[in-house]
Structure 1
Amino acid sequence: MAIFAWCTRRSGGLAMITLAALSWLVLSREATAIRYGYKYQPKDSLSAPSYHQEGGGIWTIIWAYYCLFIHVLVFAFPLRAIWAIWDLTSNLQKTVHSKTLKDFKFGRARRGSSTSLSSSETLTSSRASSTSCSEIGDLEPEYFPDGDAVATDRVVHAVVIPNYKEEMDTLRETLDVLACHPQARDSYDIYLAMEQRENNVELKAMSLVSEFVKKFRSIDFTLHPADIPNESPGKGSNMAWAARKLSERYPMEQRKDVIVTGIDADSHLSSNYFALITSMHLANPETANTTLYSAPIVFDRNAHNVPAIVRVADILWCAAGMSGLYRGSTIAPPTSVYSLPLELVDRVGGWDCDPEAIGEDLHMYLKCFFALNGNLTSRTILSPVSQTNVTAGGYGKGANGLASDMQARYKQALRHMWGALDTGFALRKVVELWRERKHTSRAFRPLHNSLNDTTDGYVPQNHLDNLDPERPVESGIFSDVTHDTLKNPDYLRILYLFHRLFEAHFLPVHMTIFVITTTLYMWITDGTSDVHGIGWIFEVCKYLRTLGFMEVALYLFMYEGFHKLAVGVRQKEMDEAGLAKGMNFSHREVKKNFIDYVMVPLVAPIFGSIPCAQAQICHFWTQELVYTVSKKVTRQRAKSIVTGEKV
């Protein structure tokens, strides 16, 4: 099992090396066969020369058909992204004009505002009085079938903002955006998930808490200790610590209506984001506690202040995230921002903190997916999350500035591709699922009470032998145990999941290898007969590559409409909230952004294949990556202009 675990953690690197070795074997044998295997032919013969030896033989055929398979996947991905962005844009237009969401209000009931001075050990609260005046709006049955305004008031949104050495302006702006939502004072519990190793972090946290204490239902902060063994610094460990601490705040009877949302420090969310989650949570009680909510992201704040190559890299990163968010999609991994019920967090034992979980959004999705035997419900929130492009502040500073911005984006790409470790995690989980496929029930406890020797939150069966699942225990050590009936594994969804993982973590490198090696193969075999009968494959692959680039260009064109709609909605909401002054709004125009389309052939290898290969090679001797914080842009530092500058 130890060997299997070692191999799964390096599955990407092993696959890359295997393909490279196979390609070398094929090319070397074909070259040798052509060099020494020609038949003698008269000078006046017009037929193509042929050779006796088989060259790579069956390995050449396997290599060629795998090449075709990779090219088909490369062709299919932008098609799915195109369908997804069209579907999202058309549905966003309907949501924007929805009277229900425009008039969405929460009841007058005020549960109280609280603030705390948290430590790395506990999260405590002291009551603070505040006033609130919210009108009771008409809630249409379309979103709330029971028509009861009070029902919406019971849903609490626990918003966790992991951050480490983030600037105060960045955090303040994010909190300002959340505070302007009409439901913030009645439904938002804000948790600043901070790092103890940051200098003066408690003073920083207390300053933000005191500033925003009256603007939310509650606001607290947690400090992730720096000395916990086997925990890597980063968003995942901050989320894990904050989740365990916030879990203590909610009693058993309330937990089913607590939605935990993890956001980046620079993420701007519309009030529609939480309104839509609330409506779906209440409208679908049968799946409410087995649902993970994902939303598309859009880089609409400082796109005009980064080089085109960086801008396009982020747009294509959006494509990767959006490609699973179309209607009917059963596999929808989140990107950066996502929400899930607290009971689901309890079920899976919270967030992992080891180096393998550096891509905490995908990692948490996989934990939930396999905990439910592949029966995780995925719902798309039709409310784009505003993000900032990565920058080192080098835009407009010549070649050195361009290099610094590209270097900053490359570091982020490497961090993204480091998530290839999640493929190994999924492989181990599917083996575990197969071994336990006959188990029909499990039991789990609240996150803060889960056993320390388990990583998935489940209570060992031998501890429950004397418990009756049909009869809850009123007192004692297992009084908070929840029994759960599992559905049979959904193997079709599992197959779809591994297709997406292969697409994310294997496809970039394998495609690059084939682009290079097939070019060499065609050069080596030029002018010889096609003894293997595979020549048609390389012709098809050339057409697929060409069509793939055309599809990416079409996606970029369709992204213009999505971007325009998203930035327009955000700007209108910020105008109404009085926050638009000095805030960044990056508008796009096709005629001024033509250079973006030219950047696609450069973006794919620089921010896709190369960092992916580097990450997979590094995994052979380490799974740890030093987590760095990217520079953010805030309304205090920049002005809104139209994109279109040339690099």
Structure 2
Amino acid sequence: MGHFTWCSRCAGGLSMLALIGLSYWVISRESMVENYGFIVYRGASTKDGSYSSKTTAAGAGIWTFIFAYYCLLIHFLVALFPLRACWSIWAITKLLKQSAQSRALQDYKTSGLRRQSSSSSITSSETLSSSDSDNVFSTASEFTDSESELFAEGNDSARSSPVIHAIVIPNYKEEMETLRETLDVLASHPQAYSCYDVYLGMELREAGVESKALSLVQHYVKKFRSIDYTLHPADIPGEAAGKGSNLAWAARKLSSNYTMSIRKNVIVTGIDADSHLSSRYFAQISNMHMDTIYKETASTTLYAAPIIFDRNAHSVSAIVRVADILWCAAGMSGLYSSSVIAPPTSVYSLPLELVDRVGGWDCDSEAIGEDLHMFIKCFFAVNGHLTCRTVLSPVSQTNVSGGGNGGFRGALMDMKARYKQAIRHMWGALDSGFALRKAFEMWKDRKHTCRAFRPLHKTGRGDSLDGYFPEAQLEAGSELPTENDAFSDITRDTLKEPHWEHIFYLAHRLFEAHFLPLHMMILVVASTLYTWVTEGGEDPNNLSWIFSTCKVLRPMGLVEVAVYMLIYESFHRVCVSARERDMAQAGLADGMCFSHRSLKQNFIDYFLVPAVALLYGTLPCAQAEISHFWTADLEYAVSKKAVRQRAKSVTIEDVV
């Protein structure tokens, strides 16, 4: 491993040590000034053998300025994040409410059509719901009259989309009931039979996995366009066990099922084993992908959706529930209308052409956070010109559970399981180093204007065509390959110049995710010590206003988080109501739980925010970044999921 690779991998840990060293140096020097009033520096010896000396009260000098202004910057960024999250969740909630109203009206108008619709078409109500929102979050343009006409009722192109959705469900030792529930939800979609190709990304290490996969395939074979499974081998050198490796293996296998002529209309979606998606999620993606307005960017677009933990929040401890609410904030903070950087959380979709372009998913230990890792990989593959579009259809998830039966012991088990999940999240700090290396590679190749790639399944180990190579490797000035040519499956593409503004925004988001939690805690302690040792001093550097401002920004940030939680109440209510309605229409509501929130009964959640920030933000961040000094490997463990319950909907009030 080269020095640059190691340093980039340990960027978080190195920054932590540098900040601690800076804080110690500044505080210790200022403490000496306050105690003695001066510092004696010995100079060179004179002719008579004595030493010249001088006194100063400058303390740590320029390092004090660096410490103070960096402290102000960090406090400002911490206060900025919840503001962005509030704006994003408010905008999403507003549009979800509008969409729900339109959908309710359309359901009434087309109730007869809904009863007659077959499983091979998209109903007009779903088409209408996507028209209400799918373009609102586009970074390319605003909603136009032509788009309204495209999604109007009765439009055949919207009802029978040529888009094929290749849905990959990577899983390892997941309970059969969890997988069945997820497949039941997908199978209930009107377009499932005509548009969904489902791939179960299984692990060969799991005992009895093939019979498990065959049982699922046999049960659902008539409910989708196709359903298949893949078995990821356990003995591939350099591959780490996890969601990313299963997804990568399944993607390589599914790639061979699509010819060059239809690949441009294949959308690959990776979901967790417990993710529940509405039919509107896929309908909106189909409409956006086929819209002529987005034709130029269709092959370089990544689709992300907000997530919500609305299935078993009533049965886990409050601190775990709040941790996941704040995790939703992190995911949604980039999904507002003008955002050009929108990293996905757990569930996302991208065209198969884009998967080909980047050579699929990485499988090494640094790719454990495969969603952000794939986003960064796609981002730099197009020199920062990746298009991000938000799908206005929240993804239902379950809170991690420790398997306890309630009480104090059960709460501790839940908290322990959530901390392990937080370690996996913070292990993604490796992606900051990955982004540094990709940025360096992009800088070296910044003059390249053309590249080419082959289908993912044609680029295996030992293949000279690695799926992403300079155009110079092809014969200069050659004609485009013909259908019978040996290189007929090569796609050539023109590269734009690096988009430095987008790269700056990405750097900010990565810093916010992987550096900010730990740096904030260090500076809260360090700035408190600094003001303590300098209290009553003369403040010759005129820096006291900075630390006074920081004292104001801290409680301001907590107030902003409280505002986010208040808006989240409305967001949660809208999402749960929509999912209840969808599941009732699909006949699946009796087998599921719906966690409703109440501000009156959930007031305790608001007071747990500081504890959650420390327990599931700062501590796992520090543990992960310290561990990266000697290893990038993390043992893969499956989180326990809430399984289907044959019970009525449960509310928080019932539990309390």
TM-score scaled to structure 2, two decimals? 0.89
| 2:93/2:571 contact within 8 Å kept | yes
Aligned to 2:101: 97
Q: Distance in 1 between matches of 2:106 and 2:15?
A: 48
Q: Offset at 1:28?
A: 1.3
Q: Offset at 1:53?
A: 2.4
Q: Distance in 2 between matches of 1:212 and 1:106?
A: 25
| 1:11/1:424 contact within 8 Å kept | yes
Are 1:86 and 2:69 matched, yes or no?
Answer: no
Q: Distance in 2 between matches of 1:96 and 1:455?
A: 48
Aligned to 1:114: none
Q: Offset at 1:487?
A: 1.4
Q: Offset at 1:33?
A: 1.9
Aligned ranges 1:600-639 → 2 under 5 Å: 600-636=609-645
Q: Distance in 2 between matches of 1:491 and 1:156?
A: 34
Fraction of identical pairs, as percent? 61
What value does the CA root-mean-square deviation take over the aligned residues? 2.4
Q: Distance in 1 between matches of 2:457 and 2:606?
A: 49
| 1:586/1:642 contact within 8 Å kept | yes
Q: Distance in 2 between matches of 1:150 and 1:578?
A: 25
Aligned to 1:17: 17
Note the alpha carbon deviations across 1:590-615, whole angstroms, 9 max, x for none.
11100000000100010001100100
Q: Distance in 1 between matches of 2:500 and 2:453?
A: 24
Indicate how the Cα distance of structure 1 residues 197 and 360 shifts in structure 2: closer, same or farther if over 3 A, else same.
same
Note the alpha carbon deviations across 1:304-355, whole angstroms, 9 max, x for none.
1111111000000000000000111100000000000000000000000000
Aligned to 1:252: 260
Are 1:222 and 2:230 matched, yes or no?
Answer: yes
Aligned to 1:418: 427
Q: Distance in 2 between matches of 1:272 and 1:226?
A: 36
Aligned to 2:298: 288
Aligned to 1:385: 395
Indicate how the Cα distance of structure 1 residues 379 and 476 shifts in structure 2: closer, same or farther if over 3 A, else same.
same
Q: Distance in 2 between matches of 1:419 and 1:518?
A: 28
Aligned to 2:166: 158
Indicate how the Cα distance of structure 1 residues 348 and 101 shifts in structure 2: closer, same or farther if over 3 A, else same.
farther
Letter in 2 for 1:608: G
Indicate how the Cα distance of structure 1 residues 332 and 221 shifts in structure 2: closer, same or farther if over 3 A, else same.
same
Aligned ranges 1:543-554 → 2 under 5 Å: 543-554=552-563
340, 344, 349: which one pairs with 2:350?
340
Q: Distance in 1 between matches of 2:274 and 2:113?
A: 26
Aligned to 2:244: 236
Indicate how the Cα distance of structure 1 residues 83 and 286 shifts in structure 2: closer, same or farther if over 3 A, else same.
same
Are 1:477 and 2:486 matched, yes or no?
Answer: yes
Letter in 2 for 1:144: L
Aligned to 1:311: 321
Indicate how the Cα distance of structure 1 residues 451 and 199 shifts in structure 2: closer, same or farther if over 3 A, else same.
closer
Aligned to 1:375: 385
Q: Distance in 1 between matches of 2:414 and 2:493?
A: 49
| 2:119/2:191 contact within 8 Å kept | no
| 1:186/1:216 contact within 8 Å kept | yes
Note the alpha carbon deviations across 1:288-310, whole angstroms, 9 max, x for none.
11100000000000001111111
Aligned to 2:45: none
SS at match of 2:428: helix
Aligned to 1:599: 608
Q: Offset at 1:373?
A: 0.6
Indicate how the Cα distance of structure 1 residues 232 and 329 shifts in structure 2: closer, same or farther if over 3 A, else same.
same
Are 1:435 and 2:439 matched, yes or no?
Answer: no
Indicate how the Cα distance of structure 1 residues 474 and 90 shifts in structure 2: closer, same or farther if over 3 A, else same.
same
Indicate how the Cα distance of structure 1 residues 301 and 27 shifts in structure 2: closer, same or farther if over 3 A, else same.
same
Aligned to 1:200: 208
Q: Distance in 1 between matches of 2:421 and 2:505?
A: 27
Indicate how the Cα distance of structure 1 residues 106 and 326 shifts in structure 2: closer, same or farther if over 3 A, else same.
farther
Q: Distance in 2 between matches of 1:485 and 1:426?
A: 22
Aligned to 2:76: 72
Aligned to 2:6: 6
SS at match of 1:415: helix
Aligned to 2:42: none
Q: How many residues align?
A: 612
Q: Offset at 1:474?
A: 2.5
Letter in 2 for 1:615: A
Letter in 2 for 1:32: M
Indicate how the Cα distance of structure 1 residues 367 and 135 shifts in structure 2: closer, same or farther if over 3 A, else same.
closer
Indicate how the Cα distance of structure 1 residues 512 and 536 shifts in structure 2: closer, same or farther if over 3 A, else same.
same
| 1:169/1:636 contact within 8 Å kept | no
566, 569, 582: which one pairs with 2:578?
569
Indicate how the Cα distance of structure 1 residues 247 and 135 shifts in structure 2: closer, same or farther if over 3 A, else same.
closer
Q: Offset at 1:396?
A: 2.2
Indicate how the Cα distance of structure 1 residues 80 and 104 shifts in structure 2: closer, same or farther if over 3 A, else same.
farther
267, 278, 282: which one pairs with 1:270?
278
| 2:454/2:467 contact within 8 Å kept | yes
Aligned to 1:172: 180
Q: Offset at 1:489?
A: 1.2
Letter in 2 for 1:202: E
Note the alpha carbon deviations across 1:576-633, whole angstroms, 9 max, x for none.
1110003010001111100000000100010001100100000000000011111111
Indicate how the Cα distance of structure 1 residues 561 and 203 shifts in structure 2: closer, same or farther if over 3 A, else same.
same
Q: Offset at 1:428?
A: 0.7
| 1:106/1:134 contact within 8 Å kept | no
| 2:72/2:546 contact within 8 Å kept | yes
Q: Offset at 1:467?
A: 6.4
SS at match of 1:264: coil
Aligned to 2:467: 457
| 1:81/1:320 contact within 8 Å kept | yes
Letter in 2 for 1:186: S
Note the alpha carbon deviations across 1:409-452, whole angstroms, 9 max, x for none.
00000000000000001011111111111111110000000253
Indicate how the Cα distance of structure 1 residues 568 and 150 shifts in structure 2: closer, same or farther if over 3 A, else same.
closer
| 2:454/2:465 contact within 8 Å kept | no
SS at match of 2:589: coil
Q: Offset at 1:526?
A: 1.9
Aligned to 2:66: 62
Aligned to 2:132: none
Indicate how the Cα distance of structure 1 residues 136 and 173 shifts in structure 2: closer, same or farther if over 3 A, else same.
closer
